[in-house]
Amino acid sequence: MCGIAGAISFIEDMRNGVGVYERMQSRLLRRGPDQRGMYITPEAALIHARLAVIDIEGGRQPMTFEDRRGKFTIVYNGELYNTDELRGELAADFEFATHSDTEVVLKSYVKWGDKCVERFNGIFAFAVYDESEHRVFLARDRIGVKPLFFFRGRDKMIFASEIQALLEHPDVPHEIDENGAAELLLMAPGRTAGCGVIRGVEELKAGECGYFTAGGLKLRTYWRLRAYELNETFEETAAHVRGLLLDSIRRQLVSDVPVCTFLSGGLDSSLISSVAASELKRQGKVLDTFSVDYRDNEKYFRKSRFQPNSDPEYIRKMAEYLGTEHHWVIIDTPELVDALDEAVDARGLPGMADVDSSLLLFCREIKKFGTVALSGECADEIFGGYPWYRDKDIRMTDGFPWAQSTAYRKRFLCDDYAGRIDAEEYVYSAYRKTADYAEKLATDSDVDYRMREMTQLNFDWFMQTLLDRKDRMSMYSGLEVRVPFCDYRIAEYLYNVKWEYKDWQGREKGLLREAMKEWLPDEVLWRKKSPYPKTHNPAFLEAVTAKLRRILDEDGEVLTQLVKREELERLLTHADHVQWYGQLMNLPQTIAFFIQLDHWLKEFSIKLV
């Protein structure tokens, strides 16, 4: 895992921008603290900051290969999980100097060109400069686990793993227009696919690749969720799921540095930990597992529809059941609040408030023990675990099921942007475009037709928000977090499994539970879904209220250019209790979001246009 960046122009001499490239690289050093490198020619500057996981000495970047076909240089961020198979295919054409997946990706491109991405199983974003053809190839993994942002200037393209690095280039404006304002106040922490919020900043979409040449940037979608007829019994489906998931987890345990897992005591992380513990035990090793909790959470925890029970008792049961070396990370309210700003620095945008900052603090502690961790993200999106899949009224609601708050959100827009933005149309058109994009079959039942739309909506929006969070908060501490449920083979198969099977026995993720029942004790296997743990301490609401109050009293003119002061004042009276986003962002998180927004506007010197 790494940070990558670059600038390409067929008009300017790229050798004149070394100081700029060094600043861009410095912004990526948290992603890649182990090694750094640059490759600069008159046409291209390729920048790399490396977190060394596989072939620590041999995998240095930028990596160049030259033969009769030309000269090719790559900067690559990611992990390839079918490296050995691809190396075997390529062995007839190439000798290999390293054991790194970087070399396999580079030589796959040399042999197969832009079709190489269709052969990869992994999480990645990379750029290959084809010096002989005067072009750069860009690609991002199918699911969108690894990020790649870019800015198209006049006769130039600039790209980077993170927005923060792009902003170090003088060509990239530190500005937002009405579209950026709409993304921040109507959509955030979600983002429209391909949108980088900053004016002119875009993101390569999941499953997208293309070339930048003197003629401009031409992109294509090489993968998407496809609908097909699947005629399997439930037993066959469960066996298929089991085989795919076990293969994905085992592939993602390959590393030249120690591997650990997140363990929340819920179904998804417990399954991954169980398989990982078994694999390490065969090697004579003990798995390290990590859990996060909050000071005084047991004291203040109250059952809710979304969170029927707390995690610690289940975590203890799983750690004992698996015989892991278990570690607790306990977060107190003051550090959680203090880390809100740092979470913005990591994400490059205001995000999920303390849901972000807690993960950042959690990953920082894990990094003290290791460099690679496995996490359970994305099972709920793929297997239909969220309440909005299962509540018949919510799932048929015409709009994003996790954010029915447009009328409330638009109240915060300043008058200028409110006059330029049709809030309801902006949100609804984004929803409708995604739902319509979902591929369906004429034979789908009404329920399965809608579930394809729900899966596409979650895939393109809610899941991407969580993957952004996971990548930025972990990589900020140089921790690589892998997500076995995000194997594209699982996603494309599950897209075609009928809802009756996914909802087996009327339980959320019933199919997954049945498929993996041999791997967990019953009390964890059949535990009702519980979301990512957050603080229940009322001190958090008090602290963020006081912090936003200070911002408005002392230095509020920046924030109130974008957000109406009277609505922020109303928010501070705790008059409204509107769910801002998903299950985890309500009143305290809404206040914390505006604290993050204020920090972002100031830290990145954002101008409103």
Active site residues: 2
Cβ 110 vs Cβ 89: under 8 Å:
no
The Cα-based distances of 273 to 227, 265, 281 in angstroms read 31, 10, 12
- The DSSP code for 116 is G
Of residues 387, 417, 419, 449, the one with CA closest to residue 579? 387
CA distance 290 to 330: 11
- Beta strand 122-130 with 135-140 is antiparallel
**Bridge partners (DSSP) listed for residue 46:** 6, 39
- Beta strand 288-294 with 325-331 is parallel
Name the region of 155 (left: φ>0; alpha: ψ -120 to 50; beta: rest).
left
- The DSSP code for 117 is G
The Cα-based distances of 554 to 317, 352, 547, 559 in angstroms read 49, 24, 11, 11
The helix/strand/coil state of 563 is strand
- Beta strand 63-67 with 70-80 is antiparallel
CA distance 277 to 324: 7
Burial 485-505 (b: 16+ CB within 10 A, else e): bbbbebbbbbbbbbbebbbbe
Sequence-distant (≥ 6) Cβ neighbours of residue 88 within 8 angstroms: none
Cβ 137 vs Cβ 200: under 8 Å:
no
Name the region of 448 (left: φ>0; alpha: ψ -120 to 50; beta: rest).
alpha
- Count CB atoms within 10 A of the CB of residue 230: 16
- The pair of structure tokens assigned to 47 is 């920048």
User: Would you say how long the chain is, in residues?
Assistant: 609
Q: How far is Cα of residue 101 from the mean position of the Cα atoms in its chain?
A: 21
Q: How far is Cα of residue 572 from the mean position of the Cα atoms in its chain?
A: 31
- The pair of structure tokens assigned to 539 is 């001190």
CA distance 219 to 394: 36
CA distance 451 to 400: 13
Cβ 379 vs Cβ 512: under 8 Å:
yes
**Bridge partners (DSSP) listed for residue 158:** 7, 151
Residue type, 75: V
Q: Got the DSSP string for 496-517? A: TS-HHHHTGGG-TTHHHHHHTG
CA distance 380 to 33: 32
Task: Report the 3 state secondary structure along 218-233.
Answer: EEEECCCCCCCCCCCC
Cβ 462 vs Cβ 352: under 8 Å:
no
Residue type, 301: F
